[in-house]
């Protein structure tokens, strides 16, 4: 499909896309379940990495040729995308464009929910549902970087092993064990301080059971349903907090605030590729986006699937 190069606003930069991340939201949009926000591109793609091609008249701090990665409201599956400059961050030294494409959507989401909203502190225990996903692997690594203790759930033995390789202290196969019981065994009956949940309604009550007193539940997605019955008594007795948020529909100023926090708090850690490193499940050329979606829909990926602007060969599943 041919489209003109996106028009660029005064506060935007134009990126020539070298790599674009694949997200569950892209699949939902393709299926007709997740429409783009008003005014956003109808082209899928929520994060990209590439070279700055042009700079808006009001933009400071960016110049043509700079290496950038950015979170978008849409439009990443393309050769070019225009994005508000405040939503872009420099590609970390030592990271390729493909590696940097694993950062924006995952990192913005995880940091905002785990650190800013969830208040994750050093020494606390965090349960990450879907630990082998792009979001999940990033959450495990970020928790490690914050000196917290990550636990993860996953649906196969191999994915549990992958969670441990990424940095989880314990991994629970939710098809074979009850995650609430396993959490209480691991924490000696205390429960976890924070849960990052992408399941939603189906897990609400059990998540409350898995939390320690003063615990926080951050809901990032609703793959298991949008509604559930909330036992307010549990909430009150354990003084729990339930937090919900989305990133895509927020104004650019809000995303810029997250970007600013990341630049100061996380970006200095990235060149070392120590706790936080690129976890790339596979890459596909942009023309094979359908195959990338099929892989994610089948639940095969460990880490991020990335589309490339070049004829990059398929890379098999993530190995440590």
Q: Of 176, 167, 120, nearest to 141 (Cα)?
A: 167
The dotted CATH code for 12-103+250-308 is: 3.90.180.10
The per-residue pLDDT for 309 is: 86
The per-residue pLDDT for 310 is: 56
CA diameter of the chain: 59
pLDDT tens-digit map of 279-314: 999 999 999 999 999 999 999 999 999 999 853 333
**Whole-prediction pTM value?**
0.94
pLDDT tens-digit map of 88-137: 999 999 999 999 999 999 999 999 999 999 999 999 999 999 999 999 99
Q: CA-CA distance, 84 to 10, in Å (whole number)?
A: 9
| CATH 3.90.180.10 domain span(s) along the chain | 12-103+250-308
| CATH 3.40.50.720 domain span(s) along the chain | 106-244
Contacts (Cβ under 8 Å, ≥6 apart) of 73:
36, 37, 40, 41, 46, 248, 249
Q: Of 182, 110, 97, nearest to 146 (Cα)?
A: 110
Exposure b/e, 86-106, CB count within 10 A at least 16 = b: bbbbbbbeebebbbbbbbbbb
Angle between helix axes 134-145 and 157-166 (nearest 10 degrees) is: 30
The per-residue pLDDT for 87 is: 98
Contacts (Cβ under 8 Å, ≥6 apart) of 313:
283
Residue 38 CA: distances (Å) to CA of 33, 73, 86, 310 = 15, 10, 19, 31
Q: Of 67, 66, 69, 71, nearest to 45 (Cα)?
A: 71
Taking a C-beta distance cutoff of 8 angstroms, is the pair 66, 32 a contact? no
Residue 297 region, left (φ>0) first, then alpha (ψ -120 to 50), else beta? Answer: alpha
- Is domain 106-244 in CATH 3.40.50.720, yes or no? yes
Q: What's the per-residue H, E or C state across 221-278? A: CCCCCCCCCCCHHHHHHCCCEEEECCCCCCCHHHHHHHHHHHHHHCHHHHHHCCCCCC
What does DSSP say about strands 280-285 and 241-244: parallel, antiparallel, or unpaired? unpaired
Q: How confident is the prediction along the chain (320 residues), in pLDDT tens digits per residue?
A: 788 999 999 999 999 999 999 999 999 999 999 999 999 999 999 999 999 999 999 999 999 999 999 999 999 999 999 999 999 999 999 999 999 999 999 999 999 999 999 999 999 999 999 999 999 999 999 999 999 999 999 999 999 999 999 999 999 999 999 999 999 999 999 999 999 999 999 999 999 999 999 999 999 999 989 999 999 999 999 999 999 999 999 999 999 999 999 999 999 999 999 999 999 999 999 999 999 999 999 999 999 999 998 533 333 433 33
């Amino acid at each position: 499909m041919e489209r003109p190069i996106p028009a660029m606003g005064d506060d935007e930069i134009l990126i020539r896309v070298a790599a674009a991340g694949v997200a569950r939201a892209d699949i939902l949009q393709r299926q007709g379940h997740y429409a783009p926000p008003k005014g956003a591109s109808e082209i899928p793609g929520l994060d990209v990495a590439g070279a700055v091609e042009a700079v808006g008249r009001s933009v400071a701090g960016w110049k043509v040729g700079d290496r950038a990665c950015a979170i978008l409201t849409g439009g990443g599956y393309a050769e070019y995308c225009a994005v508000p400059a405040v939503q872009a961050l420099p590609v970390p030294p030592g990271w390729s464009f493909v590696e940097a494409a694993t950062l924006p959507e995952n990192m913005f989401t995880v940091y905002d929910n785990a650190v800013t909203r969830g208040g994750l502190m050093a020494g606390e225990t965090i349960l990450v549902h879907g630990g082998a996903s792009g979001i999940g692997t990033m959450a495990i690594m970020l928790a490690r970087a914050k000196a917290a203790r990550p636990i993860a759930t996953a649906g196969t033995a191999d994915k549990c092993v992958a969670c441990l390789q990424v940095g989880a202290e314990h991994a629970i196969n939710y098809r074979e064990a009850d995650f609430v019981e396993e959490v209480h065994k691991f924490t000696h009956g205390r429960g976890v301080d924070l849960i990052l949940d992408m399941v939603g309604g189906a897990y609400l009550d059990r998540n409350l059971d898995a939390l320690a007193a003063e615990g926080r539940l951050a809901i990032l997605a609703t793959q298991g349903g949008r509604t559930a019955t909330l036992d307010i008594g549990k909430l009150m007795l354990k003084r729990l907090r339930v937090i919900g948020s989305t990133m895509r529909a927020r104004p650019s100023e809000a995303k810029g605030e997250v970007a600013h926090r990341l630049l100061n708090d996380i970006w200095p850690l990235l060149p070392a590729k120590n706790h936080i490193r690129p976890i790339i499940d596979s890459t596909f050329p942009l023309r094979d986006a359908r195959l990338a979606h099929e892989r994610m829909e089948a639940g095969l990926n460990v880490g991020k699937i990335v589309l490339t602007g070049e004829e990059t060969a398929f890379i098999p599943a993530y190995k440590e």
